[in-house]
Amino acid sequence: MSALDLRRFHNMLFGAEPAISFVEIRHTRQGRGMGQVFLGVREVEQWARTVEKLTGTGDVYVGVGPRTQRAGTRESVARLHVLWADIDTDDAVAALRTFEPAPPVVIRSGTPGHLQAYWPLRDAVGPDQAEIGNRRIAHAIGADMKSTDAARILRPPGTFNRKREIPQPVRAARLDAEVFDYEDIVGTLADPPARAQDRPRVELPRERVADDSPGAQDAAVALIGRYSPEADLRPSGNGRLHGSCPFEFHEDRNPSFGLFPDGGYICSCGTGDIVRLFVNLRGEQFTDRDLPRYRRELREDLGLAVAA
Ligand SMILES: [Zn+2]
């Protein structure tokens, strides 16, 4: 049953995608951060086998959007074949029940009360339009606003959620083949208030980071506040701040995230400098190749001085 669900899930996300595209699988590797696998969009059997193998040892996620290159970045997402909502409260579950049209695909993500709902599209939409649609749905039913981005990775059915001591199965509660026109799903819904990134820019210190200037940690805190407004870091000695992990992929029940004076971090999910912090906050997969771009964005978009 799970193998069949996996293939139907693949078909929903990628069935209408041109054969030259890629699909992304991201997975946790015990104590070694995240791994990433790219496969051709038509390699369905290989994809299903890879997901089944990886779920034996870790958490497995798939990029909802097909990738035009072997990268997990938003730039590599040209179109999406579904809209979706990531639902993690009882109120949102109740709101989903009365939402019209009802989502033909609902996945139980393995955390009690958490659901992922999908609305397959008759015609694919670009990443901007997909995000507008996802945000309207999230706003309408109270789903997670952070899970609306075009580069999002979510758990496929037939895998195990290993956030808790006893792994919980990720199951399809419903997996029907219905498709919708974009307008029929979100055409009458209101847009939510402007997203965090669109709000007036936080003034960040201009000091060069990666030395021990106090500005680097302030900059990192501002960065975390922008992407994860609920983060609550407190001083814990030696100039460190401590609190729950701000990364979307890490459900950090016993706060294990530490932020150093230089803006670097350490957590049970991994360690990194301020550039990796930035990349993880955005839910992207860090690649050396993209390092100049990350640094440029930290410098230009965020007004943060980083060595080029
Ligand atoms: Zn973490």
* pLDDT tier, 180 (very low <50, low <70, confident <90, very high otherwise): very high
> Which residue would you say has higher pLDDT here, 243 or 1?
243
Question: Which pLDDT score, from 0 to 100, does residue 242 have?
Answer: 93
Residues of the chain with CATH 3.90.580: 197-300
Q: How far is the CA of 201 from the centre of ligand 1 (A)?
A: 26
* pLDDT tier, 306 (very low <50, low <70, confident <90, very high otherwise): low
Q: How far is the CA of 308 from the centre of ligand 1 (A)?
A: 26
At the second CATH level, the architecture of 197-300 is Alpha-Beta Complex (3.90)
Span 99-109, pLDDT tens digits: 999 999 999 99
* pLDDT tier, 195 (very low <50, low <70, confident <90, very high otherwise): low
Q: Look at residue 194 and tell me whether its pLDDT is greater than 70.
A: no
Question: Which pLDDT score, from 0 to 100, does residue 307 have?
Answer: 53
Q: How far is the CA of 228 from the centre of ligand 1 (A)?
A: 13
Q: How far is the CA of 253 from the centre of ligand 1 (A)?
A: 10
* pLDDT tier, 1 (very low <50, low <70, confident <90, very high otherwise): very low
Query: Residue 133 in contact with residue 185, Cβ under 8 Å?
Result: yes
Span 39-92, pLDDT tens digits: 999 999 999 999 999 999 899 999 999 999 998 888 899 999 999 999 999 999
Span 201-226, pLDDT tens digits: 333 333 334 444 457 788 888 888 88
Q: Look at residue 197 and tell me whether its pLDDT is greater than 70.
A: no
Q: How far is the CA of 14 from the centre of ligand 1 (A)?
A: 30
| CA distance linking residue 214 with residue 14, whole number of Å | 47
Q: How far is the CA of 100 from the centre of ligand 1 (A)?
A: 36
Q: How far is the CA of 227 from the centre of ligand 1 (A)?
A: 14
Mean pLDDT over 140-146 rounds to: 92
Q: How far is the CA of 252 from the centre of ligand 1 (A)?
A: 6
For the segment(s) 2-186, the CATH number from 3.40.630.30, 3.30.70.1790, 3.40.50.2000, 3.30.300.130 is 3.30.70.1790
Q: How far is the CA of 266 from the centre of ligand 1 (A)?
A: 8
Q: How far is the CA of 34 from the centre of ligand 1 (A)?
A: 11
Residues of the chain with CATH 3.30.70.1790: 2-186
Instruction: Specify the pTM.
Output: 0.68
